[in-house]
Amino acid sequence: MYHTGDLIVYGASGVCRVGEITQMDGKDYQLLHPVWQKEIIYMPLFSTKVYIREVIERDEAARLLDSVCTVDAQPVFENKVQLLSQRYEKIIKSYQCIDLLYLVVSIYNKKVHAEKNRRKLGLVDERYLKKAEDLLFGELSVALDMPKDKVQATIRLAVKKV
């Protein structure tokens, strides 16, 4: 159980601030306030259905941001859209910053490859890039106390240098 004010990663909702415990229909819930969305999530106490962990520490986030230029994430090409979706979904559902960073860099590299061939990035790539960026940039932003758009700009600049 987390304490009021703690910052956690709550599945696809990303970073949430833990609120008070409340009761509804005879069950106990902890209120979560997503940092990047305007909603309230009622998290059942002692539930294991949604992935939950603490936000990474500041020094770990800084190391991750510093390591962007060394990430060698090759673009993923699949003949079938469904296989690509499954592969990306598995990475997203790890909810680990390092995995999300590799996914983001991989899709950035795929975008560069597509642009060189005068093509656009596919819809599946765009959709999962957005999901990965939202989760990764949101967590790094909170951990580093840095605006989300600055995190994004830092990562994009580092990828372009490679």
Q: What angle do CA 27, 30, 32 make, to 5 degrees?
A: 140
Contact 64, 101 (CB under 8 A): yes
Please list the pLDDT of the chain residue by residue as tens digits (162 residues): 789 999 999 999 999 999 999 999 999 999 999 999 999 999 998 878 899 999 999 999 999 999 998 888 889 999 899 999 999 999 999 999 999 999 999 999 999 999 999 999 999 999 999 999 999 999 999 999 999 999 999 998 888 766
List the one residue out of 12, 11, 41, 14 whose CA is nearest residue 29: 41
What's 58-161's CATH class? mainly alpha
pTM, rounded to two decimals: 0.92
Quote the crossing angle between the two packed helices 123-144 and 58-66, to the nearest 10°. Answer: 130
Extents of the domains making up the chain:
7-54, 58-161
CA atoms within 13 A on the CB side of 84: 18
